[in-house]
Structure 1
Amino acid sequence: MNDIIIIGGGIAGLSAAARLSADATVTLIEAEKALGYHASGRSAALIEQNYGAPSVQALNRASVSYLRDGGYLSPRGLMIVADEHEEDAFNADVTVMGVDPITQAEAMAFVPILDPAKIAFAAYHEDAQDIDTDRLLQDFARVLRGNGGTILTGQRVQAIRHDTSGWEVDAGTQTLRAKMLVNAAGAWADELATMAGIAPLGITPHRRSMARIATPGGHDPARWPMFFGVGETWYAKPDAGALLISPADEDPVPPQDAWPDDMVLAEGLDRYQNMVAEPLTRPIATWAGLRSFAPDRTLVLGPDPAQPDFIWCAGQGGYGFQTCAAASQLVADLTLGRASKLDAQTVAALRPDRLRL
């Protein structure tokens, strides 16, 4: 019998499995044939410490040293741009995001394709950084295996049962047993909980559409920052010599292998086009991912109050990579009954207990 079964092979499940495997026998089950296939494989791969709810920001701050010391980060920067009609929304973003206003000339120096006739306001934050998401996933998997843990891919969970000795999980052709069960199923977290006889928490997947285009005007975007429209109505990010553009959509959808909404994507591309001087070219590729949120839009980490041997590791909402170091440590601490280094207010804001009131 395992000590712990973890269901879900994205960054949430892998990082939690790696942490727990230092002190427990862990098996991770992933329905797809590859790890990090769904949301983790479609991430914008950026850490911005001032991004998200207060509890998310606390996890960001507690994770950054792990990511930096591990060599997972590289400079990127973040910039917000606005036209003359968006001054109030721009000022609100400056306050929330903790970015510094810059001149139009400075904005043009960062991203030379911007249209000087449209850029009335801009702000910049240097300390936004790219995350090497692929290496991070691989390293957590390596730690898990190095500690004697097991990874099973292509094994879809078909049934979950609970008795006095723990959990029994039918996955693929196997039946596995463990004392504790960790729900890191991402968009499927509520469905998995229901299968296990646990009341769902209202975790809802939201679609985010993406397009990849050739860099406009033949520019080299390697040193460009990620740049946003006000209110995050669109964003663009350099990526391996090309440009990723998203309408930053958040449309609720059922759990699925997501695909882009062409109309929503076209609207986002148009908002981007309105702020740049270079004409938009046909996308090289389009795709979509799911960002799954709890009702209060912060992560759900720790034992279910009604069934303490069922552990939630869900609701990452697009913050999975940037919070993974601290979130996985908290899951391990709460699962194994250890004190967390995070402050009590942050821990309380992340525990599932808050959603069972």
Structure 2
Amino acid sequence: MAASNPSVQTDLRPEVLVVGAGLAGLSVAWWLRGRARVRVVDMASQAGAEASSQNAGMLRRLGEDPYERTLAQRVHTLLSAPQAATFGDPMLSRQTGAVLALAHDPFHLHDAVSGLRARGIRLEALDRTRLAEVAPAMADAPVVRAWFVPDERVVDAGLLVSALMRDLRNTPGCSVTLDTRIDALDVHAGKVRGVRTSDATLAADRVVLAGGAWSRHLVEPHGVFRPLIPLRRTLVQVRGPRLGAHHPWCWIDDVGVYVRPEGEGWLISGCDEAIDAPSQLASGSRGPVGETERALALDKVVRWFPALADVRAVGGWTGLRTFAPDRRPVLGADPELRGLWWCAGLGGFGVTCGLAAGEAVAAWILGESVPFLRDPPAVSPGRSFFRRWPIRPAGDIARMRLVPVR
């Protein structure tokens, strides 16, 4: 807990204070370590306790958005050919391969496929025979297009969080403070000078908001609107045939359903989305699986993965994925509040993009360019956002619903 003497706190203040100890916030701090004094603060009692611990761990490069793909490729490089000892642990991630498929629109991922091939990433277009060989779970799947990405990976987000934490705690000038709720930004004359907790003001030259759904509440009292909207998604654990020790994870993108081998069964999701109003959130956003959402996931598996039709649910959870209306990350300096930076809006691709998003924000704070992200305005917190945006309640892009941005 921070000292209560303001003069002592100012003397020892970090150059950068990061709000949020998930993958995004820890990544910013990790890339700054040794080059700036950094303090990470989170209201949870454990780092990575929110969205970072609620995902399926799939590192996906074949995504719809080009900026997501760029960040994902950087993370893939960091984990598959690690130059830092932190990422050298083979338990952090493993190569599994992935199959991305389409049920209705054969061109939905056309740009993504072209983009990956232009980068020299291996993809194989699959006919039905080859699809059943590569991914037995997709034998007789009624899809119109499928690709195999053999180098895709699964990441253990918990181990990655622990590795980042270990490095930060072993680096002089870096610290992580948990169980500390941030009540407000400390702003003077249009400049953010730190944050306020219930019993102290923590001073810093720069503040990075990396707290996902909780971040927007800190800026709204200052007349700044950054629409970060949390969507709740369901993941279901099922028992059923493993169909091979090295089965790739599989995602049918346009109808919204994925399956990933896990333990003695599979982790599945119907990719449902339900807005969970930020004002109703408190620490601890992991929730139970509802009957409707469980039924949606199981029904999709029966329809689109006939080989897994006999699986049975044995557990699961729901978690939050926070998006900007254009479903693109919010990264960089805030143009309306000097001294404020963002690393948020990573949605369902925190594992896929978090390390690279943190690297980009850290580089910009240090006044450096980011070779793999050449158009910072495209992810800027000050960019224009839609007044209405589409969500996918049942995970299907053909059944989207427009909702107002509030």
Fold in common (TM above 0.5): yes
The structural deviation recorded for 1:312 is 0.9
2:206 matches 1:183: no
Q: Distance in 2 between matches of 1:324 and 1:113?
A: 29
SS at match of 1:56: helix
The equivalent of 1:265 in structure 2 is 294
Aligned residue among 98, 104, 110 for 2:134: 110
- CA distance in structure 2 between the aligned counterparts of 1:117 and 1:175, rounded to whole angstroms: 57
Where does 1:84-95 land on structure 2 (aligned, <5 Å)? 86=103, 88-89=104-105, 91-93=106-108, 95=110
2:42 pairs with 1:30: yes
Letter in 2 for 1:208: R
Matches within 5 A, 1:190-269: 190-194=216-220, 197=222, 199-214=224-239, 216-217=240-241, 219=242, 221-255=244-278, 256=281, 257-259=285-287, 260-269=289-298
Alignment counterpart, residue 348 of structure 1, candidates 348, 367, 377: 377
1:245-300 deviations in Å (ceiling 9; x for gaps): 10011222223314344313311210111232444343221211111111221111
Give the letter for the 2:246 counterpart. R
> Is the 8 Å Cα contact of residues 346 and 354 (structure 2) preserved in structure 1?
no
Among candidates 143, 151, 156, match of residue 181 of structure 2: 156
- Can you list the C-alpha shifts for 1:176-231, whole angstroms capped at 9, x where unaligned? 21121110011212122225x251211111111010011x14x3554111112340
CA distance in 2, matches of 1:272, 1:21: 44
What are the Cα deviations for residues 2-41 of structure 1, in whole angstroms up to 9, with x where unaligned? 2121111110000101112322211111111111111100
Q: Tell me, yes or no, if the aligned pair for 1:221 and 1:238 is still in contact at 8 Å.
A: no
2:159 matched residue in structure 1: 135
Distance 1:232 1:10, change over 3 A: farther
Map 1:44-55 to 2 at 5 A: 44-55=56-67
* Correspondence for 2:10: none
Alpha-carbon distance, 1:81 to partner: 5.0
Rounded to whole Å, the distance in 1 between the matches of 2:161 and 2:99 is 28
Helix, strand or coil: the match of 2:382? Answer: helix
Change (3 A) 1:230 1:48: closer
CA contact (8 A) 2:169 2:176 kept: yes
Q: What RMSD in Å do the two structures reach over aligned CA positions?
A: 2.5
Query: Which range moves more in the overlay, 323-332 or 109-118?
Result: 109-118
Letter matched to residue 240 of structure 1: G
Contact 1:185–1:192, Cα closer than 8 Å, also in 2: no
Q: 1:52 to 1:30 in 2, by over 3 A?
A: farther
271-280 or 132-141, which deviates more: 271-280
Cα 1:239–1:180 change in 2 (3 A) is same
Question: Structure 1-normalised TM-score?
Answer: 0.88
Deviation track 1:95-129 (CA, whole Å, cap 9, x = no partner) reads 24425432333332334344538567643221321
Count of aligned residue pairs for this structure pair: 348
SS at match of 1:2: coil
Partner of 2:363: 333
Distance 1:188 1:51, change over 3 A: same
Counterpart residue identity of residue 66, structure 1: L
CA offset digits 1:58-91 (Å, max 9, x no partner): 1122332212213443211222456xxx4x42x1
Look up the equivalent residue of 1:24 and give its one-letter code.
Answer: A
Taking the aligned partners of 2:253 and 2:350, their CA distance within structure 1 comes to 23
Q: Which moved more, 1:106-115 or 1:321-330?
A: 106-115
Q: How far apart, CA to CA, are the structure 1 residues paired with 2:332 and 2:145?
A: 42
TM-score scaled to structure 2, two decimals? 0.78
Paired with 1:253 and 1:222, the residues of 2 have a C-alpha distance of 37
Aligned partners of 1:183 and 1:314 also within 8 Å? yes
Whether the aligned pair in 2 keeps the contact of 1:78 and 1:128 (CA below 8 Å) is yes
What does residue 318 of structure 2 align with? 288
Distance 2:63 2:373 in 1: 19
Q: Is the 8 A contact 2:17 2:194 kept in 1?
A: no
Q: Is the 8 A contact 2:301 2:309 kept in 1?
A: no
CA contact (8 A) 1:166 1:177 kept: no
Matching residue's letter, 2:250: F
Q: Is 1:5–1:29's contact at 8 Å kept on the other side of the alignment?
A: yes
Tell me whether 1:8 sits opposite 2:8 in the alignment.
no
1:73 lines up with 2:85 in the alignment: no
Q: Distance in 1 between matches of 2:343 and 2:373?
A: 19
Partner of 2:402: none
C-alpha distance in 2 between matches for 1:118 and 1:58: 30
Question: For residues 46 and 113 of structure 1, do their structure 2 counterparts lie closer, same or farther at Cα, with a shift above 3 Å needed?
Answer: closer
Structure 1 contact 210–244 (Cα < 8 Å) conserved: yes
- Kindly indicate whether the alpha-carbon contact (under 8 Å) linking 1:94 and 1:101 is maintained by their aligned counterparts in 2: no
* Structure 1 unaligned blocks of 5 or more: none
